[in-house]
Structure 1
């Protein structure tokens, strides 16, 4: 590995230690449906985001609620003595990427077949602290 590549890898590793994130891989919901819910909580405080997700009628909101709780738990693991309300946690970044697609065939008229694509996605959520200027 070259020197420049090695330095960049070390820098990314150090940055990852100060980020608080959670990932959800292979969620069996289409990315388009998941992005509708993810856009609602981007940039919102964690308490308000949890309330939005809890009372949202969308099925994707249940998965994002669990992901938010996981990200909060990851934050608490690194900051045992800190309080969530005092830290001012908010959803800094959330992005939804497409994952593997299951391809199925459905019978169609006159002996033909139509392809059904069952989509899935990967979600990454990164939390930020409003009171800490290094993470914002």
Structure 2
């Protein structure tokens, strides 16, 4: 059993060598607005995704752009010997999860109060090297 575990662990490490990720926690933007930006770049090549994010006029795109650049830097740190141009990186996965919610009260007519929910989110970006089986 020890040999089988070791072989599967080595196979997992080899697969993870081609993958890099970055995570942004507690970003003070609603998840719905962030998902619009995430859907725009999902599955795209990194160069194309950075162009889309740079010229998008949404505020959430600035934060996602920094996150993609961070994931690229993480990939470069993992693979010092490989070049970025030859790797043909693409966004394998990007997911937006709901984060903590700040609950505030806003005065309403006739002495009542309405609850305001200030939402935040967590964004995870996973980059992978294109191995010519993908057609992106």
- Answer yes or no: same fold by TM over 0.5: yes
Separation (CA, whole Å) in 2 of partners of 1:84 and 1:39: 24
Separation (CA, whole Å) in 2 of partners of 1:85 and 1:17: 19
Q: Secondary structure at the match of 2:92?
A: strand
- Return 5+ residue gaps in structure 2 as ranges: none
Residues 90 and 128 of structure 1 are in contact (CA less than 8 Å); yes or no, is this contact kept in structure 2? yes
**CA deviation after TM superposition for structure 1 residue 17, in Å:** 4.4
- Return 5+ residue gaps in structure 1 as ranges: 1-6
Q: Which residue of 2 aligns with 1:109?
A: 109
Separation (CA, whole Å) in 1 of partners of 2:40 and 2:16: 27
Q: Which residue of 2 aligns with 1:56?
A: 56
Q: Which residue of 2 aligns with 1:4?
A: none
| 2:110 is equivalent to residue 95 of structure 1 | no
Q: Which residue of 2 aligns with 1:3?
A: none
Separation (CA, whole Å) in 2 of partners of 1:40 and 1:82: 28
> Runs of at least 4 residues of structure 1 off by over 2 A?
14-19
**CA deviation after TM superposition for structure 1 residue 120, in Å:** 0.2
Residues 29 and 60 of structure 1 are in contact (CA less than 8 Å); yes or no, is this contact kept in structure 2? yes
**CA deviation after TM superposition for structure 1 residue 132, in Å:** 7.4
Separation (CA, whole Å) in 1 of partners of 2:82 and 2:53: 24
Aligned residues: 124
Residues 28 and 120 of structure 1 are in contact (CA less than 8 Å); yes or no, is this contact kept in structure 2? yes
Q: Secondary structure at the match of 2:126?
A: strand
Farther-moved stretch of structure 1 (79-88 vs 124-133): 124-133
